[in-house]
Chain A
Amino acid sequence: MRRPWRGLTALPVLLLALSVPSPASAAFGLQAGSAGFDASVTEQNGSPTGPAGSHPFVLSLHAGFSGGDVRHLRLELPAGLIENPRAVPQCVQAEFAAGCSEASQVGMLTLRSGGAGRAFPLFNLTPAPGRPSQLGARPFGAPLTLTPTIRQGSGEYGITLTASNVTQVVAIEALDLTVWGNPWATAHDGQRGSCLNPVDPDAPLGQCPIDTEAVGQLPRAYLTMPTDCGMPLRFGVAASAWDSAGAPTATVQRQTPSDCASLPFSFGAAAVPSTAVASSPTGLTMRLTSSQAGLTSPAQRFASQPRRAVATLAEGITINPSVGAGLGACTPAQFAAESAASAPGEGCPNPSKIGVGSVETPLVDEILDGALFIATPFDNPYGAPYALYFVAKAPQRGFVVKVAGKLDADPLSGRLVATFDGLPQLPYSNLRLEFREGQRAPLVSPAACGSYANRIALQPWANTTAPPPEATAFPIMRGAGGGPCISGGAPFVPQAAAGSLNARAGAHSTFYLHLTRTDAEQEITSYSAQLPPGLLGAIAGVPFCSDAAIEDAKRRSGNAELNAPSCRAASQIGRTYSGYGAGLAPAYTAGRFYLAGPYHGAPLSVVAINPALVGPFDLGTVVIRSAIQVDPRSAQVTIDSSASDPIPHIFSGIPLRLRDVRVYIDRPGFMVNPTDCSRFEIVSTLSGSDVPFTDPRDVLATAAVPFQASDCSSLGFAPRVALALKGKPKRGGYQQLRVTVTPRAGDANISSAAVTLPPSIFLAQNHIRAICTRGQSATDSCPGPSVIGRAEALTPLLSDPLKGPVYLRSSDNPLPDLVTVLHGPGGIRIFLECRIDSFRRGMRGSCENLPDAPVTKFTMTIHGGRKRGILQSAENLCRTPRKGIAKLIGQANLGQASKPGLTVRCPKRKSKKKRSVRHRSQRRPG
């Protein structure tokens, strides 16, 4: 349906319209070949404009349609072809209806219908809010506007002119858009204003020069050729119709800009941290500045813009893990959703913002305010772990600049290289990026005082030889925390706190360890600790996290590990919290603490598995496995750094700056307090490493924390001792001796035990076949003949009993020592060394300094028999009941003495049937 013609132009248009055939039912499309779509950028003589950055005479676009009445039209101009709306005056909307001044005319719009064409002046309009600029004509009195938008893809920065709801006053068969490169050129005088005869296009053109004096401006270039000589000019069209289906598109390519080599490239670049304090969170300001000369001068060429900026930050400026706390990330979709009109948070989420920025461009009269966002790791245009999005916009002008960059962090030093590729091929005089300051600034300043330099290298769009990088020197003038500069290496005095939450002797309690260091100190690279005697872990029933699972954890992403831990939950014995980063507000990550099996020769190990999730960064999984040694004499537990994994100081290029380590071993019933309330210490030994971290020389620091169990007086102590002989009870029989000690649950552990046999039990010296030397004992290679018995200890700490041989070993005492080597799971070995002497004419075995560990039952059996028995009865044991003497002292200094009777198997005299009776102690111990 046609709308009625209005105004003076109604009649001729009507005539034109009547001559137009009725719309066909064929699909809407473009005419074939150049009649359908054509475009060119040419000089006045019609030759293609060559030099990059020059100002063409005219930009011509032609679109010819078939099968419908065009409704929407989109014309894509080549990437980098600049249309500067501020080069000529703008025609305000009110004037546009009545007639714009000739000074704002930038070209012509020619419509063809029914075989005839008619040209209309094309004006540079004052854009509506939210539009950067607008071109408009009023064919037959009806407004037809072309609104530019900037294509952002891949740094293309091409302008697309869009005409929406094109007037239906005439069935447009073809459209010619002519945009002047220098609108006030006298060559266009004949096509300007009243000289442009819309009624009779073939009439001779008049002369309608611009009175530049009246306007108050010199002639200024409106169009500028791209500065990229590596890509031909590419034009595109897309259209749709009011009355037909179909959305035809077409593209054409024209000349490739030339002569880039002579194109000037003059930019200033600087990158300056915001602090002069060492090892501190810091912001960073990056600035690119440029002269815009040549952009509007018709006779000059516009300088090339930087396509790529590579900022190599000074050694020592690294990513600050503290930035991760609460940090979000911007997805590609969110980045794509960033538009000139989008409100904060509608595109990239606010938590992903790590800085601000601005862009000053001569194309719009406002400064574009920008924000710097963290891109989703790996899901970004670079596929990089660390990437940035910069979005600058002028909402009122509908102008937005979006740039993606990446940060490459050296895996060994953490040195950063920021790369912004595909910078706008649009003119800008000042581009500023500011990484935020504050305690959670994304960067950290170098660790030592001195002079440093950041370097920025720029690559022009023109592909000309890049100038040498520009260095920005900056000083670090104060030490970490604002103190004086430190010479001769950073100090290393880490602090430690540790203990049981419930210090009651013998109680199960959560054990905590808290290590801290300041920014001024060296990095922690290893940790070892010696726990006090008796502070033990009950590993009974706790399965080891397998080596395979631990290896698997090392290969997993942090999120994968977080959501489905590699180790079984049953192996978990605690939690860790690690604070990373410089400044007062480190970022904390939570991890899990597992029990694991033998490691590097140690019988046990613990493994801290920390998903390295720093804000949006999934750096993988930090796995630190520490060997646990159990002292064979005191059962004292030691974290052995020499057999443990080093603490990484850098992970995925981010120096971790581990500041705060908190370990909570809180598995119920796992940790057991000593039953000795003496004052002990938890001694932590840490090694620190200074810059450069590759220096193998570490500094050691020791932090001792007092540890003392309490309430020992509430512990009881009533172990039972039983002595049993097995063998021929008559005199001369070689007796097997079985000593059984059964402590009472909840009592203090045994510190020393001495058991004296009756005087009638002799040492059969001549049955001592071999004595193990100390050297053999240390290497667990005692000769078989030195073994005289076996022992077994049941402890609630272990699932399986500790078992091992009893042998005679060289001693400083007259007689060899009675040494028991108890072997436990994972290679745990406990040595019990007992002295043999005589007491009240009886043979006595005395064991001092026994491990402060709970024992359910301890049994020692000394072999009997004619061949290997070393105990011989000097009387008929069945004749008179005999007693031994047992004296035990608890860890809490409680003592108990008893006289356990010797249990002997005696034949019943009056019966030939072999039976045995037992002489039992008249008084049971305890």
Chain B
Amino acid sequence: MSSSKNLTSAALLVAAMTLTLSLSAGAEVVDRGNLRVSFTGKLSPRTLPRSGAAPISVTVAAKIAATAGAKPPQLRRMTIAINANGRLDPGALPRCTVEQIQPATTEGALEACRGSLVGRGSFSARVLLPEQTPFPSAGEVYAFNGTYKGRPAILAHVYGTEPAPTSYTLPFQITRGKGGFGTLLTASLPQVTSEWGYVTGLSLALAGRGKKGPYLSAGCPAPEGFPGAVFPFARSVFAFADGKALSATLTRSCKVRG
């Protein structure tokens, strides 16, 4: 009887997990007024040890848009909080500074801080100049383990040649969070986008491994007896110039290795 109950419970749990997994594979979309923010992320590998940590890679991506063609407000600050089961170890890799990679082409940045490379991605923005049709600006992003203002940071180096060669580096300061999100990555944008730039998208795939170990590692927070777990993977907060702040939380799952 009890075994059938257990089986039933397990079956329900698996079904629930399956349902959750199927839901969490999509993006988290948050609307407020004419503003829409979609936030998505990916954890790899999903099979992780129940105890201890294994190297992982994390991909997060955000898109900011305005509904009905309106001009979105300017993004001022972006915070990405990562589940406390994940660990980010800035000491695992050499640290790079903004001055080493800014300004620089991608090649130049890699030449200067190749050992600090912890990820790559893309960046897009719309540039709204007075009396001009907004035009998109895009560039590739290389993330380096570094410091910013004396604190650990992820330096997202963006380089593009259209419509003109330019680069900028977006420092995500790393701080310790509270509660279930143990790591906070916070970036302030005004100083890099000036008053003309409107961020429309950012994606970043973080990984990396140094001589001292992995840059990112995590375990699967599944209770004993469970093959996996569903957990709040990441939470993002977008603060805009008009005072709005939108947040979204991504739920992801993992399987217990072994």
Contacts and interface: CB of A to CB of B under 8 A. Distances in A.
B242 interface: no
Nearest to B105: A874
B129 A816 contact: yes
Contacts of B34: none
Interface in B222-244: none
Given A810-B129, A812-B132, A814-B135, A765 B163 contact: no
A837 B164 contact: yes
Contact of B103 (A732, A811, A815): A732
A837 to B, nearest CB: 5
B165 A763 contact: yes
A894 B184 CA distance: 61
B4 interface: no
Nearest to B100: A731
Nearest to B98: A732
A122 interface: no
B18 to A, nearest CB: 47
A873 B103 CA distance: 7
B83 to A, nearest CB: 34
A841 B161 contact: yes
Interface string A853-882: 000000000000000000011110000000
| Max chain B Cβ within 10 angstroms of own Cβ: one of A762, A767, A771, A838 | A762
Interface in B84-116: 99, 102-105, 108
Contacts of A765: 166, 168, 193-194, 196-197
B143 to A, nearest CB: 19
A814 B137 CA distance: 9
A723 to B, nearest CB: 16
A842 interface: yes
Given A765-B197, A842-B165, A732 B99 contact: yes
B103 A773 contact: no
B146 to A, nearest CB: 16
Interface string A743-764: 0000000000000000111111
Contacts of A816: 129, 132
B191 interface: yes
A633 interface: no
A505 to B, nearest CB: 37
A768 B168 CA distance: 14
A731 B103 contact: yes
| Max chain B Cβ within 10 angstroms of own Cβ: one of A812, A836, A841 | A841
Contacts of B38: none
A766 interface: yes
Interface string B129-167: 111110100000000000000000000000001111111
A837 B129 contact: no
B194 A766 contact: yes
A836 B129 CA distance: 14
- Interface size class, chain B: 20 to 34
A761 B164 CA distance: 10
Contacts of B245: none
Contacts of B162: 814, 838
Interface string A113-143: 0000000000000000000000000000000
A843 interface: yes
B127 interface: yes
Nearest to A809: B131
B192 interface: yes
B149 to A, nearest CB: 18
Interface string A477-492: 0000000000000000
Contact of B192 (A766, A774, A837, A872): A766
B129 A838 contact: no
A874 B109 CA distance: 10
A874 B103 contact: yes
A220 B166 CA distance: 123
A834 to B, nearest CB: 13
Contacts of A731: 103-104, 108
Contact of B164 (A763, A773, A811): A763
A836 B132 contact: no
Nearest to B164: A763
A631 B164 CA distance: 31
A760 B133 CA distance: 27
A151 B105 CA distance: 112
A843 B131 contact: no
A759 B194 contact: no
A774 B132 CA distance: 10
A810 B163 contact: no
Contacts of B191: 766
| Max chain A Cβ within 10 angstroms of own Cβ: one of B108, B127, B131 | B131
A843 B191 CA distance: 22
Contact of A814 (B99, B161, B163): B163
A767 B166 CA distance: 12
Nearest to A872: B103
Given A773-B131, A810-B129, A812-B132, A836 B163 contact: yes
Nearest to A772: B130
Contacts of B102: 732
Interface string A547-566: 00000000000000000000
Contact of A875 (B108, B127, B166, B197): B108
B105 A759 contact: yes
A67 B110 CA distance: 141
A841 B131 CA distance: 26
A768 B166 contact: no
Contacts of B99: 732
A702 B127 CA distance: 47
A767 B161 CA distance: 17
| Max chain B Cβ within 10 angstroms of own Cβ: one of A773, A814, A875 | A814
B132 A875 contact: no
| Max chain A Cβ within 10 angstroms of own Cβ: one of B127, B130, B162, B192 | B130
A764 B105 contact: no
A163 to B, nearest CB: 105
A770 to B, nearest CB: 9
Nearest to B112: A731
A759 B163 contact: no
| Max chain A Cβ within 10 angstroms of own Cβ: one of B102, B103, B192, B193 | B103
Contacts of B127: 814
B102 to A, nearest CB: 7
Contacts of A732: 99, 102-103
A838 B131 contact: no
Given A810-B132, A814-B127, A816-B129, A874 B167 contact: yes
A776 B60 CA distance: 43
Contacts of A773: 130-131
A815 to B, nearest CB: 5
Nearest to B109: A874
A762 B161 CA distance: 9
B170 to A, nearest CB: 12
A855 to B, nearest CB: 27
A515 B69 CA distance: 59
A872 B194 CA distance: 16
Contacts of B161: 759, 838, 841
A836 B163 CA distance: 8
A890 to B, nearest CB: 27
Given A762-B167, A843-B164, A874 B104 contact: yes
14 contacts: A731-B103, A759-B165, A762-B165, A762-B167, A764-B166, A766-B168, A766-B194, A771-B129, A773-B131, A812-B133, A814-B162, A815-B163, A815-B164, A874-B105
Given A765-B197, A768-B196, 10 more contacts: A731-B104, A731-B108, A764-B166, A765-B196, A766-B193, A810-B129, A810-B130, A813-B163, A837-B164, A842-B165
